[in-house]
Structure formats: C-alpha cells, structure tokens
Chains A and B, each alone.
Chain A
Amino acid sequence: MIRLLLFLTLGYMAVTAQAADVPPSMIDQLVRSAWQEHSVEPAPLCSDELFLRRLTLDLFGRIPTLEERQDFLAQPDRAATIDRLLAGEEFSRAWADLWTTQLYGYADDSIDRDMLTQWLEEQLRSRTPYDRIAQQLVSSTGQSAFDGPVNFLLRYPEEPVVKVSRAFLGVRLDCARCHDHPFDRWTQDDFKRMNRFFEGMERQEVSSGNVRLVDVVREVEPADRPRFLTGAEPQTTQWRAEFGLFMTRSRPFARNFANRIWYHLLGRGIIHPVDDVSRDNHASLPAVLEWLADEAGRSQFDIRHMFRLICNSRAYQVQSIATHGDAERLRLFAVRSIKPLTPEQWHASMSVAMGRESKPEERMEFVRTFYGDALDGDFSSSWEYRETVQGLMSRLVETVDPPTSKTEDLFLRILGREPTSEERIFCQGRNAREVCFVLLHSSEFAFNH
C-alpha cells in the first residue's frame, strides 16, 4: 500500500516537474501580469502554419515555400525555427533592406543608397552590436561611394539632428526647430545646441556620384557649444564621435532599440508611434519596455538576442483576430496587430508563390509604382499602409500565369493553408487564373497577420 502511494506521489511529482520544466520567460511573466492588471484576456496562440508565415515574413521578408511549410509542420519546434532563421543569410539581407528604407527612404540623390545597404548587411552578418552600428552611422567620415555609413548623414544636409533623434532616440525634435516644442519639454535652444554637434560636417565633391564627408573644427562661443539633450557637452573637437557616445549610452537609446524591434515584430510599439516618445505618449507595457531596455544593455546590444526574446514571447504568437471593441486588447498586445506587406515583401512573396525568381529591377519598378509620389516620403515607420490607388490599379491589371491548376495547391502556395469548405465551393467552376488573381490580391495575402 505504502509502495503504491509512494509510486503515485513520485509519479505525480515527475509530471508536475515536467510541466514546470519550461518556466515562462521574463517577457511573458511581465506581459501576463500587465494583462491581469488590466483584466484583459489574451487571444489563443496562432496555428503553426500561420506562425511560420509570420516568422518567415518578419525575418526573411517573404512567405515560406511549400517545402519549408511541410518541413515545419512535420516537426513544429517554434524556438528551434526562430534560431535557424536568425542564423540564416536571408535575415541579414532582409533587415539591411528594411533598415535602409527606414533610415534613407527611396530618394534618388547623388549619394549611394546601395553602399549603405551593403554595409548594414555586413554588420548584421558579422553580428556587430547595434550601438556600434549606430555610433558609426552618426560619426563616420569617408566617401559615399566606398564608406556605406556616411550615406546616412549625407542624405539629410539640413538639420541632421531631426532624423538622428527620431531614428535612434525616438524623440521628435521637429517642432522645436522653429519654436519651443508645444507638446514636450524641448526648447528651441535645446534643438540648436543639439544640432551643433553636426555643424562641423562638410561635404566635398570628389567626383560625380562620389561625395566626401569630413569634419571641420569650428570655433564657437561657450554659450553656443554643442549640448546633448541630457546636458552633456563634448570635451574634444570630435563632436560627432562624442555625440555618438552620449547617444548610445543614454537610456532613451536602449529603450528605442527595444521599442523599435518590438514595433517591427509586433506591428505596434510599446510606445506608439515609435518615433514620438514624449511626455504625452506613454508606454502601454512600461515594465516590459524597461526590462527589454535593461536586457539590451546586458546583452551589449546583441540584435539577434533581442529578436529571439521577442519572437519566442506569447505576445508575438497570439492570434490577430479582432473586432470593434478590441482596441484596448490590441494596445496591450493581447491580440496581435496586423501589418501590411511592404512592396518588397509582396514582390518576393508573390515570386515564391508563383515559383518565379524575384528580379531586383522588377522589384524596384514594382516598389516605385506601389508608392507613386509617396516615394519621396519618410519611411521610418515601416508599417504604414502607403499604397496609392494608382499603384493598386497597375497591379490589378497585370496578367497572372498560375503555377498550377488545382485550387487546393493554389491556396497552399499563396496563402499557406488549405481552403475552407465554403472557399472550395466559392472556387468551384472558376478557372485557375481567376482563383490565382483573387488569392494574390486578397487582404490575407497583402497583410502579415
């Protein structure tokens, strides 16, 4: 009798030990307590096939292939797949492209966007920490045709501090350019003195298509010296280098790093909008943000580490099904926000679905048509839906050659899932060309959900 009881007790302990073997991550604990605090019920986890689609789009900028989908469904180890994709070549490429668009936009000036992308890709591939990347973007000298990072500041000859603050500190100084900021504590003096760090920059034409960026030492009155928003002033004549140090060591920098990666993966920043951190714009999950900012410091700004943490979290993996009335749940990440595919992602995904190669020139033409005259805009918020009606029209008119004629195959290739019974009926009797058209231009394909 005692032996039976002992056996049962040990068995019970073994079972509970196994369940407790995987403790919830710190993010999950913090998010969960926020949900409890706000009495908000989280959505269930998304399906495996949807998870793979999200992850591949987020990390590789395209939908998964049929083979990748089959392999994953055979053994749906989400954590292992996250690791595998983060280690992949495509990750560095996709993210270098996305960051270039955020930092540089699409403007066609006489400086070298491609050099910037290539440089970013190298840094990502060699696992350069994010603070070092930021430091270089802000303080590099060199020639636009050879030194990728200088192309960032060369792109913004007027008041570079505006773009730099938004991109790396999440602070919008724009208004303070002309008068004391109406909504936040920055004054026009703050703006001037922060911008002064960049006033030593000089552009020199080396040849057509190649510009050199150098720093020239300037003499200024003590009252006009550069001053960082924290009040720190440079000790040397290397103003931009010191600015880089002040910036990367500041708390807003760490917070911005965490918040931006969160925004990219979840479609909504913990502080949202991401480049408008201010007195009136509060974090929806402050404890999570602070912990992530601490973690950024602890991991020495390891980019993949931050990605791994967030992709593994419950908040990343919940479903996105929402109705009116779910606004608060969306704000607290109890329901996943959806994100439109960028035109680059759409083109790459369409190519995967159709079994075609995604040629760079075709992709670029597609991007230009998609955006129309919004091409000159600011792209630091990647998930704004910016397609013009004209871009949409040009897309809708293109003829489509379906890669297969079976409805089920088309669904698997394009949407990554099987058709429901209603959808089977809907497609019955329609030719493959039409089904293909409908699936490719559907909301479901056009969004990362």
Chain B
Amino acid sequence: MQLNATRRQFVRGSLGGLFALALQHDAQHLFSGQTAKTTKRCVVLWMGGGPSQMETFDPKPGTTTGGPTTSIKTAVPGIEIASNLPEIAKRMDGLSIIRSLSSPEGDHDRGQHFLHTGYPFVQAFPRPTLGAIVSHENPRSDFPLFVSIGARGLGPAYMGPDHAPFAVENPAEAVELITGLRKQRGSLRLLDGFSSTFDREHLDTGLERRRASLQKVERMLTTPFVKALDVAKASESDRARYGESDFGQRCLLARRLLESGVKFVEVTHDGWDTHDDNFNSVARLCSEIDGPWSALLDDLKASGMWDDTVVVWMGEFGRTPQINGNTGRDHFPNVTPVVLGGGGLQGGIVVGQTNETGLQIAEGAVTVPDLFATLLAALSIDPQHEFRTEFGAIALASDHGKPITALL
C-alpha cells in the first residue's frame, strides 16, 4: 500500500478531549432506533482559547479595565459592542448577547468539555457533545449529520460511534478524499459481493457494524453532502463574500453543508487564548471572523433557513478584566461570552449584565446548564429527555438547566 508522501493525515485533530468512549457490544441496539422526529439545524462558531468579552460583546471603554478598546453602536438601539466587529454590529437585530453566563471551569480542556456537553468532565461518566445529540435525534441518513470543520471535534460518548463528528480539518483534503473514493466505487461494490459469504457465516456485532459502515461509504458518494464538500465549486460571489481565509472557507463550507442536509456544523477558529498582546491579537482575530460570520448570517436569512437554524458563537471561557504584565488578559470563566441567534430565538436583546469594571455579574446570572437547556429547547429537543448509557445509568440531556425564557 503506497502512502502518498505529500498526503497529510486527513484527520489531524487538536489535542484535548478527555473522554472515555466506553462501548459495550449491545450499545448499538439501544441507540439505533429510527426516530421520526427531527431537530432544527445548528451551527456553532467555536472560538478556541477563550475569547475576550471585553474586546467583543461586552466592552468597557473609559474604565480602569477597558483598555484601549472602543465601542460602536449596533443596529439595535441601546446595544453597543466593541468596534472590532463592525459588520456584526450591523446585524445585531438577529443576534442576542448573553453577558451574564458564569462557569467554574478555567482550564481549557475542562472548559471545552463543559461548553460542548453542558456537563463538567468526569472520567467515569462520558457525556456526548451537543452535535452528537442532534445527530442522534434525527432520522438515519446516508451522510453524516454532525460535521466538525477545522478541528477533530469532541466525542459522542453514549450516543455511539455512528454519531461521532465527521471531521474536516481541511476542506481541500476532504475533496481529495471524496474524489479518490469515487474512483474506487467499482471496487467497493466488488468488495461487498466478496465479503458477503464470510459475513453470512459469522455472528458478531463488530462485523455487522463494519459491513454497515462500508455500505454507508458507498451510499454517501452519491449524496448532496459530497457535492457540498467541494468548496472550490462555489460561485465567484460566494467566494468573494466569504473571503479566501481559513475561517472564510470554513464558514462557506458550513453553509453548503447545512444546505445539503447536515444538521449540526461546528466551525473552529483558534487563537483566542490572548495572555499576551491581547488588544492587537483580538482586533486581528475579530477582523478574521467579522466578514465570514456576517456572510453566513446573510445567506441563512436569504435562503429561508434562518428560522430553522440556531447560530451560536462562544468559546470555553471569557477573559480577565484586569490586564496582565504582557498587555494580555487571562482566563476568566466567571464571565463567559455567548452570542445566539436564528432558529426562532429572540434576536436583538442582551441577557444580564456585568458591573462597571466587568469583574462581576450585576444581574441575570445564568449557568452553562441553563445555556444548554435553552439550546436544546430551541433545537426542538426536550432538555429533560432521559438517555440511557451503555452501563445502565440515566443521563439527562441537560444537567438540570433552566431555559432562558427571554431568548425563547
């Protein structure tokens, strides 16, 4: 088997993710139930590293902690955000800001787990990421319903490996893979015929799953999903509006995937861990997301998908109002910024507020489980839904969170 020397590994993940994917042979049968219900779509823009709320959606100009960051008016009277995000400011009527979300997890891995699953990390009890839940709560399909762009994505835990994210680290490589596989279609059909005797003569769930996976790969090759992956085929105007940057390409890919039927897409943008040179770094990072994010919002509205697609912008935690010795801000989970919109959620409002310096939450404190309950409800999933893990425990979709009624 010749391994092309220039082929980089297709799935090269970010480190992190401390899950135990505990499986028993019989788990398959517990969770392979066909569901007639569907959920809304969801796109999560994940700001890896912990985005500074002070330089994005909760600026404090003219205070001891505000730094040089200035604020600008938005399309919503009374709401101002940092001047770093001018295009988003114009679209504020569709988005809502949560300024009073507090988390206890200041460690990257633990924070990432918490904001992806709604549960604190416990080694003995793996929890599924939101994308896996959404994938599970939709009817089976021939293509992945949960895609992670730009990072490997967190695991499905007790939802089972069928709901693991399809990871697209690099859109160009994904296209290479699909093109390569298309060439093998004849061989894949031959393979199916050849293995059928062995498959018939042996009884094993692993064997069945592998056969099912092979068939899934074959069927996937003719789905719209595969065409959507080919970002290079996008129109000139699309490529112009999203730009040629990594994040731009990823957002364009996200939109195409959502259009083709994928239910949950997570787009990662790294670099937000600004312990050093915070102001310049965040300004640059914001300029990288401002355009593509706006293009995504515009397209979702124009194509009529807006009311069925929940858009979430967040990271693992916020950053300290106090500026450190390297002109940076450190981890501050006490204030974790989240922006939501679409999917029937209320837009153009602010939930809660921090005090003048941003060091404390002044009113409307909510927790990450509350956020999750809100997201689940918006996606048409009951937050009280009880899943059963493979070791027999009951797992609630949300960790006793209370949905934020102002948003629903």
Contact = CB atoms under 8 A, between A and B. Distances in A.
Contacts of A388: 161, 164
B96 to A, nearest CB: 31
B392 A182 contact: yes
* Most-contacted residue by chain B among A381, A386, A389 (CB, 10 A): A389
Nearest to A323: B203
Contacts of A183: 392
Give the interface residue-count category, chain B.
35 or more
Interface stretch (A69-77, A241-249, A284-292, A361-369): A361-369
Contacts of B203: 322-324, 326-327, 330
B400 to A, nearest CB: 14
Contact of B391 (A175, A323, A381): A175
A172 B391 contact: yes
Interface string B93-136: 00000000000000000000000000000111100000000000
Given A376-B18, A394-B10, A384 B206 contact: yes
Interface string B321-353: 000000000000000000000000000000000
Contacts of A7: none
A66 to B, nearest CB: 18
Contacts of A175: 124, 391, 393
A238 to B, nearest CB: 26
A449 B11 CA distance: 30
A366 to B, nearest CB: 9
Contacts of B124: 159, 162, 174-175, 177
Interface of B: 1-4, 9-13, 15, 17-25, 122-125, 144, 152-155, 161, 164-167, 177, 180-181, 184, 186-188, 190-191, 193-195, 198-207, 209-211, 213-214, 216-217, 391-393
B392 A376 contact: no
Interface stretch (A130-138, A206-214, A398-406): A398-406
Nearest to B26: A273
Contacts of A369: 9-11
A108 interface: yes
A89 interface: no
- Majority SS of interface residues in chain B? loop
A57 to B, nearest CB: 15
A182 B4 CA distance: 52
A441 B211 CA distance: 11
Contacts of B187: 434, 437-438
Contact of A338 (B24, B165, B167, B202): B202
A447 B17 contact: no
* Most-contacted residue by chain A among B124, B193, B201 (CB, 10 A): B124
Given A330-B203, A338-B207, A434-B190, A397 B198 contact: no
Give the interface residue-count category, chain A.
35 or more
B391 A174 contact: yes
Interface in A418-449: 423, 426, 430, 434, 437-444, 446-447, 449
A142 B106 CA distance: 30
B224 to A, nearest CB: 17
* Most-contacted residue by chain B among A339, A340, A426, A443 (CB, 10 A): A443
B10 A444 contact: no
Contact of A389 (B15, B21, B22, B144): B144
Top 5 A-B pairs, shortest CB-CB distance: A385-B206, A377-B21, A397-B180, A174-B124, A378-B20
A156 B20 CA distance: 12
Contacts of A216: none
Given A174-B125, A323-B203, A442-B198, A390 B166 contact: yes
B1 A394 contact: no
Contact of B2 (A378, A390, A398): A398
A158 interface: yes
A155 B363 CA distance: 41
